[in-house]
Amino acid sequence: MKLSHIDKLESESIHIIREVASEFDNPVMLYSIGKDSSVMLHLAQKAFYPSKIPFKLMHIDTTWKFKEMINFRDEIAKKYNLDLLVHINQEGVRNNINPISSGSKIHTDVMKTQSLIQALDKYKFDAAFGGARRDEEKSRAKERIFSFRDKKHRWDPKNQKPELWNLFNTNIDKDESVRVFPLSNWTEIDVWQYIYQENIPLVPLYFSKIRSVIRRNDMMIMVDDDRLKIKENEKIEQKKVRFRTLGCYPLTAAVESDATTVEEIIIELLESKYSERQGRLIDNDQIGSMEKKKQEGYF
């Protein structure tokens, strides 16, 4: 019997997840509701089958996620009987930080990065799983699978610990932590293929449907609720669209598509010329922007 590429990736990820459960006192899995998180959750369930996942899941809620994402999150938590924490940066809410008038940079910093740091400090997690992949973005390509964070949750790209074979250095001091990326070696197509083969449930936003959108900054933004004020020169259109990546709805661009099933998405992806992070406004602020965000504590 020969293991396929996907089989190898699957076992490698399970190994990483079990290593964290063995070596850390208080790990958490960050669950962003997106497809990568869904795959990561599925792998964690396999790693400990027939037992329950021996750690909590946590969602950092910016309060601007698509409604369908939140519904899906709560359904999944109920269906699989997950220990799910939801954290919101209440100070950000009080200061009315939002992606529209505060801008994507401040909103992401306060409601995502700062909020995550608050939650990690509050619960004293020593390891946090994330669903990031190395093929997503150039600076991710160089990040370790076990990526060390200092007491202030900062990443130092020039001072990363060498990571050899599959021997992971899990030694940290009090208040330090690691971010762990079990999907490091998966590509976008691998993730979709796995979702198809394993029949992993996804938020319906990934699949094309007629949705209300406006055009803003060369992107199609979905009108998910009335907090998105329509400007005079904008008009709401009904378009058959889907999302390649999910985040805060005013910052996530829809793409026109006819793909309504995982098969059709894969075919579309194979023919596509744009990478998935292109749908995210936050990466394009400046050259090296993801690297800067990560140094500050962003996932």
Does 136 sit near other proteins (CB under 8 A)? Answer: no
End-to-end Cα, the chain, rounded Å: 38
Count the site residues for other proteins by CB under 8 A: 66
Shortest Cβ 174–other proteins spacing (Å): 11
Q: Which position among 63, 169, 212, 260 is part of the footprint of other proteins (CB under 8 A)? A: 169
Site string for other proteins, 245-264 (x = CB under 8 A): ------------------x-
Nearest-approach distance from CB 195 to other proteins, in angstroms: 12
- Does the protein bind other proteins through residue 46 (CB under 8 A)? yes
Strand, coil or helix: 67 = helix
Rg over CA atoms, the chain: 19
State which of residues 26, 49, 152, 215 lies at the interface with other proteins (CB under 8 A): 49
Helix, strand or coil for residue 125? coil
CA distances from 256 to 208, 221, 239, 247, 260 (A): 8, 11, 7, 18, 12
Residue 49 CB, shortest distance to other proteins, in Å, is 6
For strand 177-180 and strand 209-216, is the pairing parallel, antiparallel, or unpaired?
unpaired
Residues with Cβ < 8 Å from 171, sequence gap 6 or more? none
Strands 209-216 and 219-222, how do they pair? Answer: antiparallel
* Dihedrals phi, psi of 72, to nearest 5 degrees: -65, -45
- The reply on whether position 219 binds other proteins by CB under 8 A is no
| Interacting residues toward other proteins by CB under 8 A | 1, 3-8, 10-12, 14-15, 18-19, 21-22, 46-52, 54, 134-135, 137-142, 157-158, 160-167, 169, 171-173, 184-185, 187, 189, 193, 196-197, 263, 266-267, 270, 272-275, 278, 287-288, 291-292
